[in-house]
Protein backbone atom coordinates (compact mmCIF):
# COMPACT_ATOMS: atom_id res chain seq x y z
CA UNK A 1 0.00 0.00 0.00
CA UNK A 2 1.11 3.54 -0.57
CA UNK A 3 0.75 6.26 1.97
CA UNK A 4 1.65 9.88 1.59
CA UNK A 5 2.77 11.66 4.67
CA UNK A 6 0.89 14.97 4.99
CA UNK A 7 3.08 18.05 4.76
CA UNK A 8 3.73 19.53 8.14
CA UNK A 9 2.70 23.07 8.99
CA UNK A 10 5.18 25.85 9.60
CA UNK A 11 5.84 27.44 12.98
CA UNK A 12 6.00 31.19 12.36
CA UNK A 13 6.80 33.28 15.41
CA UNK A 14 6.34 37.00 16.03
CA UNK A 15 8.56 38.58 18.65
CA UNK A 16 9.26 42.13 19.73
CA UNK A 17 8.88 44.62 22.52
CA UNK A 18 5.52 45.88 23.71
CA UNK A 19 3.56 48.03 21.19
CA UNK A 20 5.58 46.88 18.19
CA UNK A 21 2.46 45.84 16.23
CA UNK A 22 2.68 42.07 16.76
CA UNK A 23 -1.04 41.63 17.33
CA UNK A 24 -2.01 43.54 14.17
CA UNK A 25 0.59 41.73 12.07
CA UNK A 26 -0.03 38.23 13.40
CA UNK A 27 -3.79 38.56 12.84
CA UNK A 28 -3.24 39.97 9.37
CA UNK A 29 -0.87 37.13 8.44
CA UNK A 30 -3.38 34.46 9.51
CA UNK A 31 -6.11 36.14 7.40
CA UNK A 32 -3.72 36.28 4.45
CA UNK A 33 -2.81 32.59 4.82
CA UNK A 34 -6.51 31.64 5.07
CA UNK A 35 -7.21 33.61 1.86
CA UNK A 36 -4.56 31.46 0.15
CA UNK A 37 -6.18 28.27 1.46
CA UNK A 38 -3.46 27.57 4.04
CA UNK A 39 -4.60 25.78 7.22
CA UNK A 40 -3.32 28.27 9.81
CA UNK A 41 -4.07 29.20 13.40
CA UNK A 42 -3.07 32.09 15.66
CA UNK A 43 -1.60 31.15 19.06
CA UNK A 44 -0.47 33.52 21.76
CA UNK A 45 1.86 33.22 24.74
CA UNK A 46 1.29 33.57 27.56
CA UNK A 47 -1.88 31.52 27.06
CA UNK A 48 -3.89 33.11 29.85
CA UNK A 49 -6.67 30.50 29.69
CA UNK A 50 -4.90 27.67 31.50
CA UNK A 51 -4.48 27.42 35.29
CA UNK A 52 -0.83 28.43 34.91
CA UNK A 53 -1.86 31.19 32.51
CA UNK A 54 -4.24 32.61 35.08
CA UNK A 55 -1.40 32.87 37.60
CA UNK A 56 0.69 34.67 34.98
CA UNK A 57 -2.21 36.99 34.16
CA UNK A 58 -2.66 37.97 37.81
CA UNK A 59 1.08 38.65 38.05
CA UNK A 60 1.14 40.80 34.88
CA UNK A 61 -1.84 42.79 36.13
CA UNK A 62 -0.09 43.47 39.42
CA UNK A 63 -2.64 41.52 41.44
CA UNK A 64 -0.02 39.15 42.80
CA UNK A 65 3.70 39.34 43.56
CA UNK A 66 5.70 36.29 42.58
CA UNK A 67 9.41 35.54 42.88
CA UNK A 68 11.18 36.42 39.59
CA UNK A 69 12.58 32.92 39.08
CA UNK A 70 9.27 31.28 39.94
CA UNK A 71 7.27 33.41 37.51
CA UNK A 72 9.88 32.80 34.79
CA UNK A 73 9.33 29.06 35.24
CA UNK A 74 5.55 29.59 35.06
CA UNK A 75 5.91 31.32 31.66
CA UNK A 76 8.05 28.39 30.52
CA UNK A 77 5.62 25.80 31.94
CA UNK A 78 2.84 27.60 30.05
CA UNK A 79 4.73 26.72 26.84
CA UNK A 80 5.50 23.15 27.94
CA UNK A 81 1.83 22.49 28.65
CA UNK A 82 1.13 23.38 24.97
CA UNK A 83 4.02 21.37 23.52
CA UNK A 84 2.15 18.21 22.58
CA UNK A 85 -0.74 20.14 21.02
CA UNK A 86 1.74 22.24 19.10
CA UNK A 87 3.60 19.25 17.67
CA UNK A 88 0.30 17.50 16.85
CA UNK A 89 -1.00 20.57 14.98
CA UNK A 90 2.23 20.95 13.00
CA UNK A 91 2.34 17.31 12.00
CA UNK A 92 -1.34 17.45 11.00
CA UNK A 93 -0.32 20.11 8.48
CA UNK A 94 -1.50 23.17 10.39
CA UNK A 95 0.67 26.28 10.26
CA UNK A 96 0.96 28.03 13.62
CA UNK A 97 1.39 31.79 13.75
CA UNK A 98 2.54 32.46 17.29
CA UNK A 99 2.48 35.80 19.12
CA UNK A 100 5.45 35.64 21.58
CA UNK A 101 7.33 32.55 22.79
CA UNK A 102 10.56 31.58 24.52
CA UNK A 103 12.54 34.56 23.16
CA UNK A 104 10.19 36.91 25.03
CA UNK A 105 10.52 34.63 28.04
CA UNK A 106 14.31 34.94 28.12
CA UNK A 107 14.45 38.62 27.11
CA UNK A 108 11.94 39.89 29.66
CA UNK A 109 13.31 38.00 32.67
CA UNK A 110 16.97 38.65 31.79
CA UNK A 111 16.19 42.36 31.37
CA UNK A 112 15.20 42.53 35.04
CA UNK A 113 18.87 42.23 35.95
CA UNK A 114 18.22 39.90 38.88
CA UNK A 115 21.52 38.32 40.06
CA UNK A 116 21.71 34.73 38.84
CA UNK A 117 18.91 35.13 36.28
CA UNK A 118 21.18 35.78 33.31
CA UNK A 119 20.34 34.88 29.73
CA UNK A 120 21.77 31.35 29.98
CA UNK A 121 19.71 30.63 33.11
CA UNK A 122 16.62 32.11 31.47
CA UNK A 123 16.98 29.98 28.32
CA UNK A 124 17.52 26.67 30.11
CA UNK A 125 13.91 25.71 30.98
CA UNK A 126 12.75 26.21 27.37
CA UNK A 127 15.44 23.97 25.97
CA UNK A 128 13.93 21.21 23.78
CA UNK A 129 10.63 23.00 23.13
CA UNK A 130 9.67 23.08 19.43
CA UNK A 131 11.60 25.88 17.71
CA UNK A 132 10.11 28.30 15.17
CA UNK A 133 10.90 27.87 11.48
CA UNK A 134 10.98 31.65 11.19
CA UNK A 135 11.07 34.33 13.86
CA UNK A 136 9.78 37.69 12.68
CA UNK A 137 11.22 40.29 15.02
CA UNK A 138 9.28 43.54 14.78
CA UNK A 139 11.92 46.07 15.56
CA UNK A 140 10.96 49.44 16.98
CA UNK A 141 12.76 51.78 19.34
CA UNK A 142 11.21 52.02 22.81
CA UNK A 143 10.82 55.76 22.17
CA UNK A 144 8.79 55.18 18.99
CA UNK A 145 6.75 52.44 20.67
CA UNK A 146 5.97 54.76 23.59
CA UNK A 147 4.59 57.31 21.09
CA UNK A 148 2.09 54.77 19.75
CA UNK A 149 -0.57 55.81 22.21
CA UNK A 150 1.69 54.89 25.11
CA UNK A 151 2.29 51.56 26.80
CA UNK A 152 -0.48 49.80 28.66
CA UNK A 153 -0.65 49.46 32.41
CA UNK A 154 0.71 45.93 32.75
CA UNK A 155 3.96 45.07 34.47
CA UNK A 156 7.04 45.63 32.21
CA UNK A 157 5.32 48.28 30.04
CA UNK A 158 7.81 51.01 30.95
CA UNK A 159 10.36 52.62 28.64
CA UNK A 160 13.42 51.68 30.75
CA UNK A 161 12.38 48.02 30.93
CA UNK A 162 11.66 47.95 27.18
CA UNK A 163 15.17 49.24 26.43
CA UNK A 164 16.65 46.39 28.44
CA UNK A 165 14.36 43.90 26.70
CA UNK A 166 15.51 45.19 23.27
CA UNK A 167 19.15 44.62 24.26
CA UNK A 168 18.38 41.05 25.36
CA UNK A 169 16.48 40.26 22.14
CA UNK A 170 19.59 41.43 20.29
CA UNK A 171 21.57 38.67 22.05
CA UNK A 172 18.95 36.02 21.23
CA UNK A 173 19.14 36.39 17.41
CA UNK A 174 19.59 32.99 15.76
CA UNK A 175 19.30 31.40 12.31
CA UNK A 176 15.49 31.74 12.36
CA UNK A 177 15.64 35.49 12.95
CA UNK A 178 14.24 38.09 10.50
CA UNK A 179 14.28 41.63 11.77
CA UNK A 180 11.57 43.85 10.25
CA UNK A 181 11.48 47.61 10.74
CA UNK A 182 8.16 48.04 12.53
CA UNK A 183 8.21 51.81 12.18
CA UNK A 184 7.19 51.37 8.50
CA UNK A 185 3.52 51.55 7.43
CA UNK A 186 1.29 48.59 8.35
CA UNK A 187 1.17 47.66 4.63
CA UNK A 188 4.94 47.74 4.19
CA UNK A 189 5.43 45.56 7.29
CA UNK A 190 2.71 43.17 6.00
CA UNK A 191 4.55 42.78 2.69
CA UNK A 192 7.82 41.87 4.46
CA UNK A 193 6.00 39.49 6.81
CA UNK A 194 4.31 37.66 3.90
CA UNK A 195 7.61 37.24 2.10
CA UNK A 196 9.21 35.70 5.22
CA UNK A 197 6.17 33.48 5.91
CA UNK A 198 6.08 32.23 2.30
CA UNK A 199 9.74 31.23 2.53
CA UNK A 200 9.07 29.40 5.83
CA UNK A 201 6.13 27.50 4.31
CA UNK A 202 8.26 26.54 1.33
CA UNK A 203 11.08 25.29 3.59
CA UNK A 204 8.57 22.96 5.30
CA UNK A 205 7.26 21.77 1.90
CA UNK A 206 10.86 20.97 1.07
CA UNK A 207 10.96 18.62 4.07
CA UNK A 208 12.54 20.74 6.80
CA UNK A 209 11.90 18.78 10.03
CA UNK A 210 10.62 20.44 13.22
CA UNK A 211 13.56 21.97 15.08
CA UNK A 212 14.01 22.25 18.84
CA UNK A 213 15.29 25.05 21.11
CA UNK A 214 18.01 26.17 21.50
CA UNK A 215 20.09 24.16 19.04
N1 LIG B 1 6.25 37.87 28.74
C2 LIG B 1 5.74 37.06 27.76
C3 LIG B 1 7.21 37.41 29.63
O4 LIG B 1 7.66 38.14 30.51
N5 LIG B 1 7.65 36.12 29.51
C6 LIG B 1 7.16 35.28 28.55
O7 LIG B 1 7.59 34.11 28.48
C8 LIG B 1 6.17 35.76 27.64
C9 LIG B 1 5.62 34.87 26.58
O10 LIG B 1 4.33 39.10 29.18
N11 LIG B 1 4.93 42.27 28.45
C12 LIG B 1 5.71 39.22 28.91
C13 LIG B 1 5.80 40.11 27.70
C14 LIG B 1 4.57 41.01 27.81
C15 LIG B 1 3.62 40.23 28.70
O16 LIG B 1 2.45 39.66 26.70
C17 LIG B 1 2.34 39.77 28.05
P18 LIG B 1 1.31 40.27 25.72
O19 LIG B 1 1.82 39.91 24.35
O20 LIG B 1 1.33 41.76 25.99
O21 LIG B 1 0.02 39.61 26.11
Predicted TM-score (pTM) of this structure: 0.96
Q: State the Cα–Cα distance between residues 161 and 152, nearest whole angstrom.
A: 13
Distance 45 CA to ligand 1 centre (A): 7
Testing ligand 1's pocket by substitution, the residue of 104, 119, 155, 165 carrying the most ligand atoms inside 8 A of its CB is: 104
Q: State the Cα–Cα distance between residues 19 and 49, nearest whole angstrom.
A: 22
pLDDT at 145: 87
Please list the residues that pair with 15 across neighbouring strands: 137
Nearest to 102 by CA among 131, 134, 70: 131
pLDDT at 39: 97
Pocket of ligand 1 (CB under 6 A): 18, 45-46, 60, 75, 100, 104-105, 108, 156
Ranges of the chain with pLDDT below 70: 1-6
Q: Coil, strand, or helix at residue 136? A: strand
pLDDT (tens digit, 9 = 90+) per residue, 57-98? 999 999 999 999 999 999 999 999 999 999 999 999 999 999
pLDDT at 56: 98
Distance 157 CA to ligand 1 centre (A): 10
Amino acid sequence: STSTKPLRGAFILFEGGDRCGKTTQSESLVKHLHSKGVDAELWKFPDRQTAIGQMINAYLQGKTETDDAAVHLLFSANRWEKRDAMLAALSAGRTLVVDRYAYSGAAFTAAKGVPGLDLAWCKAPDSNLPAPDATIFLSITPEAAAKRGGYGSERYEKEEMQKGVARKFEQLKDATWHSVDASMSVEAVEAEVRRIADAALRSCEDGRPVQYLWL
